[in-house]
Structure 1
């Protein structure tokens, strides 16, 4: 596993399933793959800040609020996976590590 222990421990603490924990990689996306957003993201961030002993912040483009899904009509349909379709910039675990260690996650328009 190449995911830093600080991230792994934070994910375990917020009760990400064992199956998802086993398949983590640095390219795993926080919202789209793990379904962490809103209040869950706040909890995840607090654990990261403790584990990394850092107060670095994430750009809000990566962190949709708790009710982001209500802003998109298709997500009201019962068969649509809400967390996979929330619109926000993808934030990988590599970018999480970069931010928490003082590097910055590039914004999508800068990543090209």
Structure 2
């Protein structure tokens, strides 16, 4: 039993310098890896955006197949009623989109008012 305790006590631990070197190496690795993780995150957002646009295109074509025309644009793009066509087109297309209806929102918005595809 004395031999085990003696071996345990005679082992040296990490010195402060060694510990700081390890922490520095880990910090360096994190700073090298972070840009690639941000790039992967942006690529994932772009993939979601492209998928949403493809789903909207499919919804438009399904609408066109049912009604033999695309949703009409009854409002001009300026003035107080400019958003009314978007809301109307959104209401027409929601039945053709399965699952989450947030497919119409752009997922990269960070502002107070999110943009939309439609």
Is the structural similarity TM-score above 0.5?
no
Greater relative CO, 1 or 2 (CA 8 Å, sep 6+): 1
Instruction: Name the TM-score, length of structure 1 as normaliser.
Output: 0.27
Greater per-residue helix proportion:
2
Larger Rg: 2
